[in-house]
Structure 1
Amino acid sequence: MKTTFSKEILPYFIFLISICSFAQNKSDRELILIDKDWRFSLGHLYDTQKDFGHAEGYFSYLAKTGFGDGPASSQFDDRAWRKLDLPHDWAVEQSFSESASYSHGFKTAGKGFPEKSIGWYRKKIIISKDDLGKIISLKFGGVFRNSKVFFNGHFLGTEESGYNGFEYDITSYINYGGENTIVVRADASMEEGWFYEGAGIYRHVYLQKTNPLHVIENGTYITSEINNNNNAEVTAEVTIENKGNYKGSVEIIQTIQDVSGKQVVNVSENVLAPDFYKTAKYSSKLKVNNPQLWDIESPNLYHLITEIKQGGKIVDRYETSFGIRTIKFDPENGFSLNGKPLKLKGTNNHQDHAGIGTALPDELQYYRIKKLKEMGSNAYRCSHHPPTPELLDACDKLGMLVIDETRLMGINDYHLKNLKRMIERDRNHPSIFCWSVGNEEWNIEGSVIGERITNVMQGFAKSIDSTRPVTVGISSGFKSGISSVVEIMGYNYMGNGDIDAHRKEFKNQPGMGTEEGSTFATRGVYFTDDAKHYQSAYDKKPRPSFYSIEEGWKFYATRPYLAGMFIWTGFDYRGEPTPYGWPSVTSYFGMMDVCGFPKDNVFYLKSWWGDKPVLHLMPHWNWQGMEGKEIDVWVYSNCDEVELFLNKKSLGKKKMEQYGHLEWKVKYAPGTLEAIGYKNGKKILSDVQKTTENPEAIKLSIDKENSPNANVSVITVEVTDKKGLHIPTANDEITFAVKGGKILGVGNGDPTSLEKDQFIDDIVLTAITNFEEQKGTTADLPQQLISYSENDWTTAFKDRDYKKQAPSYVYRGQFELKEYSATKIVSFFYKKIGVETVVFVNGNKVSASAEDPQKYVLNSNMLKDGKNTIYIVATPLQKIKDWDVMNTDPGIIQVITPAESCKRKLFNGYAQVIIQKESFDKPVILSASAKGLKSHTITILGKE
């Protein structure tokens, strides 16, 4: 983690680190989060007029420096645009359509929707005159996708991939002491993956300030070796850049602090500074005695503080979090961490979550990793792209191993530079134990082309980081091609080839299951219903060439030479609704649904992945109308034996096979189904499923996986009967209200739900059309609309002689309101076409608002459905210079339809609400209500 100081609210656990770091930081470096208060609007893929006139200028931003036009111009008026905070995903806000992308969960954004494939973002910032002389840059965590960034009308660059972080130096373009405009145009019309990817600036944005002499971005590389005396020799390589004219020596000081912040060791040396706009690497050795090792149970983190002194003054201070640990793959004995064998119990995951798409707050990264850890997982594969850095921070701090994966295989600049950026950004994270350079590249997996590409990418990765091995996920057979040369064999599904045979042929090649399972399950459903698109939650073989979770784990767990396996997937995700299509909009593969609510397979994994006693009884026991019919009853447990009871009558005791489960056929009768688990002949656990009564009350609870004092909280919603029992079949629609915060999103895990994820005001921008003018005879402006001759109207501004203007002009135009009602808020954002102005709408004079003299809020009693007429009477603007370009756009009509109340149906007993606080110091109050149920209110406390 780099030293940060934020002027805006960060999650509390990050905020504390920032304040502590800043207190010690006397250098010129600042990293300022600028996520707050952006303006946003959808543009258009190919219609330039609908794209706000962008790329219509005579000189384009590619032809002449500083000629950004339309929204890219710093002069563009964005007042009518929506105001929002980042991270932001505009795709999740859209409705569903059968004609939309199957891969992206049928959201009406991106491919096939040109009016929803372009997103514009604008933000104004003040940069002090005191910053003159510093190097100032914009840092983006990731924008999906094909982003173009402008600063004060200057084009900074394009980043094609939606998964790369990138940075632009804006030092030369800044208006010091005044206002500056950041503009981002994101083009999400093309998909990079075959899964939901979101759209927009879905990761953080920072403003960075440094001394001209500074550590470059991701400019440290820390490695360590543990010797026989249990001491670690840490090598700290730092890359310094000189963007100034300084020549001479500088002092580099490297200091290591332990978990408590205590200094462990430091070294310093005097070196020559790099030449102008050059970089240089410097390496230091530091010895750490009896290091606290990083592992999955005790994720101990050290901090390297790199300082640059110039003339005795600290000019830069750069902090890097790292861990000391050893990793090893062995072709006979699998994987070991710190010299101890460790079976990888992993999951694959995409980066979206219920209700909020890909724009995850930092706290949700921790929430999701905690959910996986609680299941027993110790490893995470980033599928199939580089993750947000905050995910890796969470894995570092919580103890989760990571396979970090690049997006696309290849050997050209596009591929290798993306791989380089990923490795250089992420290589100090102790959680990362393997780089993946590809996944299921079917065209090349079994060919010599695949071998060549893999050899290049593998060698290239090693040249950047020699401490970790390289893998590729392979699914089209394990015989030749990539399989023959990759360092760590990644088996994607044991049904795709003979793993044991491949191992016999390549005995010196370690291997692991990079994808396994791919099973179908709908949470809380125990009978497959293809008509409803519901898959039974019992763990069964999903397809002929795929295996159940139990079959997969038995295979990998009983083969010491295999390092472990990664299940497809830990969480459900939008898109790929295999084995169905519309109206299914999420996958069925997850061990948990899109909210993180566990499916029953979670408890199988807890039984055999963890070291605590587990007993889980399924299904629920609400089967009205099925009395006397047999129900499959399963038990997941790591107990020696389990005995099953129905209404206190024993149905038999059974022994548990290792890595297995138990089954009974039970004729349904309402009441109590109970399982009792025994260890060494003694009862140690029980689990009960009871037939519940009618729904009576809503229950809200704060999930235990939330981080303490966090800015974002995840709330579980359920319904109980009069005895307080959870009702597993409830599907009531719950309405929510919040005070002291906002609802970021809602979900319920239903793969067929077409309900809204988010409830936001709908904003429509309507142009003024048929804009006409006629000359006035006096500069005195009327206070009441008068009659004007219909014969004197001409096209506004056409052939205007600016040297011989009339004393005033009256302009007339129309705007159309569709399905207008008094609940809608209509405003006219005037763009100045006169010195003094009077505005009339449908014959009524309109007054400017107090907050903005060029904004007119239109009363509902003066508006009508369909066409409305606007008159603007103004004294003309005068040209100062002949070449001045005069504004001829009168402005835009903004129509806001207020969002309806936030609501969501329960799905099989559960729903989820994600809440963000307005302030750390104030509580948030969430209320939930539904017809026929007792409402419930919960208070989420402020900072404790």
Structure 2
Amino acid sequence: MIKYYYFNQIKNNIFIAILQPLSVNHVFMKAIFPKGILFCFIFLISYSASAQNKSERDLTLIDKDWRFSFGHLFDTGKDFGHATGYFSYLTKTGFGDGPASSNFDDRAWRKLDLPHDWAVEQSFSEKASFSHGFKTAGKGFPEKSIGWYRKKISIPESDKSKIISLKFDGVFRNSKVFFNGYFLGTEESGYNSFEYDVTAYVNYGGENTIVVRVDASMEEGWFYEGAGIYRHVYLKKTNPLHVAQNGTYVTSEIKENKAEVSAEVTIENKGNYKGAIEIIQTILDAQGKQITTVSENGTAPNFYQTTNYTSKLTVNNPLLWDIENPNLYRLITEIKQEGKIIDRYETSFGIRTIKFDAEKGFFLNGKSVKLKGTNNHQDHAGIGTALPDELQYFRIKKLKEMGSNAYRCSHHPPTQELLEACDKLGMLVIDETRLMGINDYHLNDLERMIKRDRNHPSIFCWSVGNEEWNIEGNITGERITNVMQEFTKGIDATRPVTVGISSGFKSGISSVVEIMGYNYMGNGDIDAHRNQFKQQPGMGTEEGSTFATRGVYFTDDAKHYQSAYDKKPRPSFFSIEEGWKFYAERPYLAGMFIWTGFDYRGEPTPYGWPSVTSYFGMMDVCGFPKDNVFYLKSWWGTEPVLHIMPHWNWSTGKEIDVWVHSNCDEVELFLNKESLGKKKMEQNGHLEWKVKYIPGTLEAVGYKNGKKVLSDIQKTTENAQNIKLSVDKENISNANVVVITAETTDEKGAHVPTANHEMTFSIKGGKILGVGNGNPTSLERDKFIDNIELLAITNFEEKKLASANISNQITVEADNNWKEAFKDRDYKNQAPAYVYRGKFDLKNNIKTNTVTFFYKKIGINAVVFVNGNKIPASTDDDQKYILNAAVLKQGLNTIQIIAPPLQKNKDWDVMNTDPGIIQVITPAEQWKRKLFNGYAQIIIQKDENAAEVILSATAKGLKTGTITVK
């Protein structure tokens, strides 16, 4: 028997060794850190590896090496002729055409890795969508609304006994998936996870082609949603008899010092086995130590049927999952058939209790917990929606550092990695479905979300809707809520249901929903609703909605800048401080969720173009904190806090509002060591002074019980001289993706808060994934990637040649014997050889461009000429021709191909008449970004085999900055 020790990084760089039997070909794709450390020890070979292989499932990440190209929304010619065949993929099985065909030539397409968001790569335009941050993709841009993805994989003959599936975590949106030309299905929503069984279509022992057509022309939300395969894709292999997709459900009941764990498993049979099986359920702790196990006998379900089995297990003295100590367990489910393990399925779960009380709020493990939450969308600066896993942890850690303990997924099911980060870091979650309704479209989406997510201990509430204004206050909304609520309870009865409501708090949805979700105090009388529905618990599912631009302290509508001081956003709305005081003072309210934790693309209220991101966040789109973060940290956190705003670089004589956020008892303010007075801090409040600006040092001193405990200063800085690069402390150790902060310092090393220099970046040992700076009006590029243009060969003509000996043929120029290529060709009486010619229009013949002709076989042993110059085939591909700039012309170029013709074997054979495509690659500019009020962000990814990554930054008039990441 072969065993492996694999080392998991649990917390704070502590590594735990876990001894576990594994199949020889088992692949660890979801380690806690991306490059798992794996040590192999051979102890004893007691039976054949091939027998052991059959006992394990494989889940292999297949994000690498995809091909991508834009299609077109309605021009089938620009959509590679897809769905134009006489028989389509909807009329005859296996008739995927255009890129959906397995033999389509995609060599000229862009090569990339997933996850991928093509919207973030586009430029900005005032004509583009307000909701999507004015990116030139999606609706209104038919040439950037369809994306094609293709990937080749090999599946060995040894997998013939397995069920082969493709697992997609999320594709935005309206995706069609093909496998070897076979249509698998359509998933309309961009937020659902989905799987397709491809077992019947596999070319075992050979090449297989995965094709995804993505239609992002329609928006699902009113916020930036990206475009493309923005989440992970997996190849899954299981025994025909296996645990079904999302097929476990773990619940627990705590009694004294014991947890009675109920482990339900759904077993699916896609084979012909009939007879006895054994189901073994084992619980491991975080260190991999076995806590308890139970075995029971059962019977395999019938062919293509499922059966549920429930096991009871006891955990003595359980370590509970909570916010401070997010303890996790693992359930190992094994299915035995004739004494052999044929499937092994892992489920991470936590043991904890949750309770809402209409008088006292929310309780976790019997302790009262005030929900200190934020709403968030899914995008980040520089990378759009295609967040690497490390960024999920980065963002949740930023929120935790602010004092937040809860996260609302606004307004759609999240990616699994977000929930895993919340499980491991201790963040409560409201998980929200996309749309309210009672039909299969709505309820099926809801069921899939719940079954996928219900084992995450971080989730404490299901949300079945948000601000459905047409139905919130009427009988229709009441009926829909009743159906969705009861439907949810039928799938998971352990968590309550809520809806975020904004257009009235006394009728319709609000009268029947289990947990009332108040969206903004300004939209109704919360106290009056509570007095009418005293048995209904409630929480603020959205509150605040304030406007602020990081580092800006005077509103400038001309520049679209909002002051960072916490003010009412509108007369009927409330500031962050007003909102928190309201909820903090009312025990019956479980807490509040601020709109939002981070700025996000789109919805640039209160402005429009050229603002491209929101102003709502406590942090900007990079995660750089605005000053409101320190207000929340003061009253949400447990550590002493003292923060002065604003910076101290102003015009002499200007009167400045100085605010101090702190949880100290008293704060004294000093300007150049002269006291400006001591003030007492109000609970959940802040302090203010009006100070006439004088250069120097502004210092705040905080006191508790009369003793000085903290101080904070703002200094007038000198001119910027140096570039400082630093690794953000929220990064996970040993991560593949790292967040770098760029800033400037003066001669004394002080940060310059008003700097806006443009920096240029270069990297060794890795690549840059994206850049940002948090400026809501920045129209700078997020990504700098090579531009790939595909040029069709036009006016394609042919001329017969008398000899098949083409080696000595020369190109034939103008005469009268040319005719349209392949038109009315008599394939039973072809010439010995043909010369073909066509044109391609090269608008930019730049020496730095790479121009390649990807030939598609229209004859045998072709010879290619461009502008009369014979072009040799590439050494790595005899149907690829690299065209030197010296042989090319600006404007129209002539290409000629000389080749003996292909012959038809059968009359109905379809012959290729496409000579190929010209690919023009224009190299990307060097990565660059302006600082915004002192900061910019660079997200980098290490190369697989690189020992270190070196990032350098340059800017005019500044000393170069360099950082090395090991």
Q: 1:314 aligns with which of 336, 341, 349?
A: 341
Q: 2:512 aligns with which of 470, 485, 491?
A: 485
Which residue identity lines up with residue 300 of structure 1 in the other structure?
A: N
User: 1:158 is matched with which residue?
Assistant: 186
Structure 1 residues 630 and 792, CA, compared in 2 at 3 Å: closer, same or farther? same
The answer to whether the 8 Å contact 2:164/2:236 transfers is yes
User: 1:343 is matched with which residue?
Assistant: 370
User: 1:104 is matched with which residue?
Assistant: 132
Q: 2:211 aligns with which of 168, 177, 183?
A: 183
Residue 789 of structure 1, CA deviation: 4.7
Paired with 2:814 and 2:338, the residues of 1 have a C-alpha distance of 78
Paired with 2:862 and 2:42, the residues of 1 have a C-alpha distance of 50
- 1:781 is aligned to 2:801: no
User: 1:919 is matched with which residue?
Assistant: 944
User: 2:577 is matched with which residue?
Assistant: 550
User: 1:13 is matched with which residue?
Assistant: 33
- SS of the counterpart of 2:862? strand
Residue 83 of structure 1, CA deviation: 0.2
Which residue identity lines up with residue 294 of structure 1 in the other structure?
A: W
The answer to whether the 8 Å contact 1:620/1:690 transfers is yes
User: 1:817 is matched with which residue?
Assistant: 842
- 1:667 is aligned to 2:687: no
Paired with 1:226 and 1:407, the residues of 2 have a C-alpha distance of 33
User: 1:532 is matched with which residue?
Assistant: 559
User: 2:401 is matched with which residue?
Assistant: 374
Paired with 2:176 and 2:944, the residues of 1 have a C-alpha distance of 33
Residue 553 of structure 1, CA deviation: 0.2
Paired with 2:40 and 2:514, the residues of 1 have a C-alpha distance of 42
Q: 1:497 aligns with which of 524, 543, 552?
A: 524
Residue 394 of structure 1, CA deviation: 0.3
Pairs within 5 Å for 1:676-695: 676-695=701-720
Residue 865 of structure 1, CA deviation: 1.4
User: 1:877 is matched with which residue?
Assistant: 902
Structure 1 residues 159 and 513, CA, compared in 2 at 3 Å: closer, same or farther? same
Paired with 2:31 and 2:588, the residues of 1 have a C-alpha distance of 42
User: 1:612 is matched with which residue?
Assistant: 639
- SS of the counterpart of 1:704? coil
Paired with 1:230 and 1:21, the residues of 2 have a C-alpha distance of 38
The answer to whether the 8 Å contact 1:784/1:845 transfers is no
Paired with 2:527 and 2:810, the residues of 1 have a C-alpha distance of 88
Which residue identity lines up with residue 118 of structure 1 in the other structure?
A: I
- 1:886 is aligned to 2:911: yes
User: 2:477 is matched with which residue?
Assistant: 450
The answer to whether the 8 Å contact 1:8/1:34 transfers is no
The answer to whether the 8 Å contact 2:349/2:456 transfers is yes
User: 1:601 is matched with which residue?
Assistant: 628
The answer to whether the 8 Å contact 1:408/1:438 transfers is yes
Paired with 2:357 and 2:877, the residues of 1 have a C-alpha distance of 69
User: 1:515 is matched with which residue?
Assistant: 542
Residue 819 of structure 1, CA deviation: 2.9
Structure 1 residues 135 and 11, CA, compared in 2 at 3 Å: closer, same or farther? closer
Q: Deviations over 1:514-561 (max 9, x none)?
A: 000000000000000000000000000010121100000000001000
The answer to whether the 8 Å contact 1:12/1:711 transfers is no
Q: 2:882 aligns with which of 857, 871, 895?
A: 857
User: 2:788 is matched with which residue?
Assistant: 763
User: 1:866 is matched with which residue?
Assistant: 891
The answer to whether the 8 Å contact 2:811/2:865 transfers is no
Which residue identity lines up with residue 704 of structure 1 in the other structure?
A: K
The answer to whether the 8 Å contact 2:762/2:927 transfers is yes
Residue 164 of structure 1, CA deviation: 0.1
User: 2:198 is matched with which residue?
Assistant: 170
- SS of the counterpart of 1:770? strand
Residue 218 of structure 1, CA deviation: 0.5
Pairs within 5 Å for 1:250-289: 250-289=277-316
Which residue identity lines up with residue 899 of structure 2 in the other structure?
A: A
Q: 2:261 aligns with which of 205, 215, 234?
A: 234
- 1:655 is aligned to 2:680: yes
Structure 1 residues 25 and 306, CA, compared in 2 at 3 Å: closer, same or farther? farther
The answer to whether the 8 Å contact 1:9/1:15 transfers is no
Which residue identity lines up with residue 100 of structure 2 in the other structure?
A: A
Stretches of structure 1 that go unaligned for 5 or more consecutive residues are none
Which residue identity lines up with residue 746 of structure 1 in the other structure?
A: V
Paired with 1:595 and 1:554, the residues of 2 have a C-alpha distance of 28
The answer to whether the 8 Å contact 1:785/1:844 transfers is no
Paired with 2:330 and 2:396, the residues of 1 have a C-alpha distance of 22
Residue 7 of structure 1, CA deviation: 5.6
Residue 10 of structure 1, CA deviation: 6.2
RMSD: 1.7
Q: Deviations over 1:215-256 (max 9, x none)?
A: 0011000000001x2210000000000111101000000000
Structure 1 residues 861 and 341, CA, compared in 2 at 3 Å: closer, same or farther? same
- 1:88 is aligned to 2:116: yes
Residue 882 of structure 1, CA deviation: 1.7
Paired with 2:27 and 2:299, the residues of 1 have a C-alpha distance of 35
Which residue identity lines up with residue 568 of structure 2 in the other structure?
A: K
Structure 1 residues 105 and 844, CA, compared in 2 at 3 Å: closer, same or farther? same
Larger mean CA deviation between 476-485 and 819-828 belongs to: 819-828
Q: Deviations over 1:643-701 (max 9, x none)?
A: 00111111010000000000000000111111010111111101010011011010000
Larger mean CA deviation between 561-570 and 10-19 belongs to: 10-19
User: 2:451 is matched with which residue?
Assistant: 424
Which residue identity lines up with residue 842 of structure 2 in the other structure?
A: L
Paired with 1:169 and 1:671, the residues of 2 have a C-alpha distance of 68
Structure 1 residues 832 and 21, CA, compared in 2 at 3 Å: closer, same or farther? farther
The answer to whether the 8 Å contact 2:765/2:946 transfers is no
Structure 1 residues 183 and 815, CA, compared in 2 at 3 Å: closer, same or farther? same
Which residue identity lines up with residue 720 of structure 2 in the other structure?
A: P
The answer to whether the 8 Å contact 1:523/1:749 transfers is yes
The answer to whether the 8 Å contact 1:140/1:204 transfers is yes
The answer to whether the 8 Å contact 2:482/2:513 transfers is yes
Structure 1 residues 281 and 9, CA, compared in 2 at 3 Å: closer, same or farther? closer
Paired with 1:276 and 1:641, the residues of 2 have a C-alpha distance of 73
- 1:645 is aligned to 2:666: no
The answer to whether the 8 Å contact 2:54/2:239 transfers is no
The answer to whether the 8 Å contact 1:298/1:399 transfers is yes
- 1:698 is aligned to 2:723: yes
Paired with 1:510 and 1:574, the residues of 2 have a C-alpha distance of 33
Residue 629 of structure 1, CA deviation: 1.9
Which residue identity lines up with residue 320 of structure 2 in the other structure?
A: L
User: 1:902 is matched with which residue?
Assistant: 927
- SS of the counterpart of 1:894? strand
Paired with 2:845 and 2:598, the residues of 1 have a C-alpha distance of 42
- 1:34 is aligned to 2:62: yes
User: 2:12 is matched with which residue?
Assistant: none
Q: 1:123 aligns with which of 151, 174, 180?
A: 151
Residue 818 of structure 1, CA deviation: 1.4
Residue 764 of structure 1, CA deviation: 0.6
Residue 20 of structure 1, CA deviation: 10
Give the paired residue count.
938
Paired with 2:890 and 2:704, the residues of 1 have a C-alpha distance of 74
The answer to whether the 8 Å contact 2:250/2:455 transfers is yes
Larger mean CA deviation between 399-408 and 915-924 belongs to: 915-924
Residue 807 of structure 1, CA deviation: 1.1
User: 1:459 is matched with which residue?
Assistant: 486
- SS of the counterpart of 1:835? coil
Paired with 1:608 and 1:20, the residues of 2 have a C-alpha distance of 49
Paired with 2:762 and 2:833, the residues of 1 have a C-alpha distance of 51
Structure 1 residues 541 and 20, CA, compared in 2 at 3 Å: closer, same or farther? farther
Paired with 2:375 and 2:808, the residues of 1 have a C-alpha distance of 67
TM-score, normalized by length of structure 1?
A: 0.98
